[in-house]
Structure 1
Amino acid sequence: MTTLMAILIGTFYAAAIYMMLRRSVVKLVIGLILLSNAANLLIFTVAGMDRGIPPLIPKGELLIEGPAADPLAQAVILTSIVIGFGVLAFAVVLIHRACEVVQTDDMNEMKGTD
């Protein structure tokens, strides 16, 4: 399963870089979405994809017995999703306004206007 996830993550990163290198601003946004999803999947995979009990310590005990889920990776991914959504929303609004002003979504044509 980890090998499959590594191939999927590599494909997401490759597709994101390819989309971000295109001239269209819309494809840039799609590349940003793919890049954030690839990063989230990478963190998820590196933390381990084992099923375990919730990371709760029973009353009167000092350690969790048996395999437990890693709460740190879950918190980092949740934070990454929220930050990625905020950056994406800002980028969409900024690009929408730039396309309204310049009347094109081609980055080479946007560069030449004043």
Structure 2
Amino acid sequence: MLEHFLENGEVVTSVILFGIGLAALLLHKNLIKKIIGLNIMDTAAYLFLAAQGYIEGRGAPIVTDGVTRMDAYINPIPSGLVLTGIVVSVSVTALMLALTVCLYQKYHSLNMDYIIMKMRKEEE
């Protein structure tokens, strides 16, 4: 059993990271901690994709020394997905942080329960 975990260390690590991020997202009331939890979940997904795209003994998909056989290189699609995901997650994080600053300026708190309570009082 332990050997199986050691063979798939990247996958096990990505599952653990995803769990940590999900726990932070669900259990913390602070908006900054929720954003950090979401970023940890993103990182876990990227690690999983990169681990699945890697094949032992194969090189990067750059033709060198005239080797054009497909079985000499890894699949470049997971790497491209990871790079695209990183760009998107940085943009989403920037947007979330900007919205968090706006909420803090309006409600002077980063506690979700307090902000929701104040919003409901404003509606009444």
TM-score clears 0.5:
yes
TM bucket by the smaller chain? 0.7 to 0.9
| Count of aligned pairs between the two proteins | 113
Structure 1 102/51 Cα, relative in aligned 2: closer, same or farther at 3 Å? farther
More off after superposition, 87-96 vs 3-12 = 3-12
User: Judging changes above 3 Å, is the alpha-carbon distance between structure 1 residues 110 and 65 closer, same or farther for their aligned structure 2 residues?
Assistant: closer
Per the TM alignment, residue 49 of structure 1 is displaced from its structure 2 partner at its CA by 4.5
Runs of 4 or more consecutive aligned structure 1 residues displaced over 4 Å after TM superposition: none
Identify unmatched segments of 5+ residues in structure 2. 1-5
- Aligned-residue Cα RMSD (Å) equals 2.3
Q: CA deviation at 1:85?
A: 0.6
* Corresponding residue for residue 86 of structure 1: 91
Segment drifting more, 44-53 vs 93-102: 44-53
Tell me what 1:110 maps to: 115
Q: Higher helix share goes to which structure? A: 2
- Corresponding residue for 2:3? none
TM-score (norm 1): 0.85
Instruction: Note the residue ranges of structure 1 that are not aligned, 5 or more in a row.
Output: none
User: CA contact under 8 A between 1:47 and 1:73: conserved in structure 2?
Assistant: yes
For 2:61, the aligned partner's letter is P
Q: What aligned pairs does 1:1-114 form with structure 2 within 5 A after superposition? A: 2-21=7-26, 22-56=28-62, 63-64=68-69, 66-113=71-118, 114=122
